[in-house]
Homo-oligomer: A and B are copies of this chain.
Amino acid sequence: MEILDGKKLAGEIKTQVKFDVENFCKEHRAPMLACILVEGDKASEIYVSSKVRACEECGILSKVVRLSSKITQTELEKAIDNLNKDININAILLQLPLPPHLDSNLAINKISPLKDVDCLTDTNLGSLFSGKNQLAPCTAQGIMKLLNKYKIAIEGKRAVVIGRSLLVGKSVSCLLEQSNATVTICHSKTQNLKSITKDADILVVAIGKAKMITTEFIKEGAVVIDVGINRESGKIYGDVDFENVKEKCSYITPVPGGVGPLTVACLMENTLKLSKRQYEGGTNSYTSC
């Protein structure tokens, strides 16, 4: 069994982005990422700080737009529109979840697809779905990079994804299918889950339940990717029961240190990618998608 070291790969990705940003800055202003943070969610504060820190590591500029938890939908959308129009901003991230009185779908779709660094607007998701692969949500992208880094064969393999969130389950299913895996998406209504996961050469788990996946869900020699981050009495656990499962797998991601760090690293990559594309398309190209 080999550990899929996401932390190490994330470091390599960030080093590469830093190098590419330095080159990019020879001719252009440094890329700038704007993070919109609607106050009131503690985890969001932590996530945004770690994104800002990663920007600093990579030579990417960042700006946190803090908004009151009482902001109206109209005010939020106005704030997004200002960032769309600001030619100094290359990438916009709306930190989720939003307070319940705000409509995150409407807000997300106000982000210009050219600056939508999380790939969550309908236009960018449609482009992902139809296989144009210009951008993908960061976590899904990180998973693919990890598989590629360890030269894990995907074509013709059975991949099973548990969880159907847009950000992870559905997006990674798309990417796995585009790499020619035969993909099954499982979810809360799936019956006989074990009988399905036991066919998986590659199993991606994004459920949000600590240690739910034990050895009887696993095919001998499977590659297991654990996207879960569950906090229990001060410790972090994945969705996979690592100690129980590890000897049955060929490869497995640890939690923490597996998929988590890759999300932020891919965010850096996407920020640079969008900046480059904006320069290629003309600086003021935010409306021309």
Q: Is the CB of A130 within 8 A of B166?
A: yes
* Interchain CB contact under 8 A, A129 and B196: no
Q: Whole-angstrom distance from the CB of A252 to the nearest CB of chain B? A: 23
Q: A128 contacts which chain B residues (CB < 8 A)?
A: 126, 129
Q: Is the CB of B132 within 8 A of A127?
A: no
A180 part of interface (Cβ distance < 8 Å)? yes
Q: How far is the CA of A78 from the CA of B185 in the complex (A)?
A: 41
Copies in the complex: 2
Closest residue of chain B to A127 (Cβ to Cβ) is B122
Number of contacting residues on A, CB 8 A?
31
Give Cα A126 to B124, complex, Å: 7
With A123-B122, A126-B122, A126-B124 in contact, do A184 and B187 touch (Cβ < 8 Å)?
Answer: no
Those of A167-192 within 8 Å (CB) of chain B: 170, 177, 180, 182-187, 189-191
Say whether A191 contacts B132, CB under 8 Å: no
A186 to chain B, nearest CB (A): 6
Partner of A155, one of B131, B189, B196: B189
Q: Cβ of A155: which chain B residues have Cβ within 8 Å of it?
A: 189
| Alpha-carbon distance between A121 and B130 when the two chains are bound, in angstroms | 9
Quick one: CB contact mask for A113-145 with B, threshold 8 Å, 1 for yes? 000000001111111111110000000000000
A105 within 8 A of B: yes
CA–CA, A289 and B180, complex, Å: 33
Contact of A126 among B127, B164, B185 (CB under 8 A): B127
| A11 beta carbon closer than 8 Å to chain B | no
Given A122-B122, A122-B132, A156-B191, 14 new contacts (CB under 8 A): A123-B123, A125-B125, A126-B127, A126-B128, A129-B166, A130-B170, A131-B166, A155-B189, A156-B189, A156-B190, A164-B177, A180-B187, A180-B189, A182-B185
Q: List 10 A-B contacts (CB under 8 A).
A: A121-B126, A122-B127, A126-B126, A126-B127, A129-B166, A131-B166, A177-B185, A182-B185, A182-B186, A183-B185
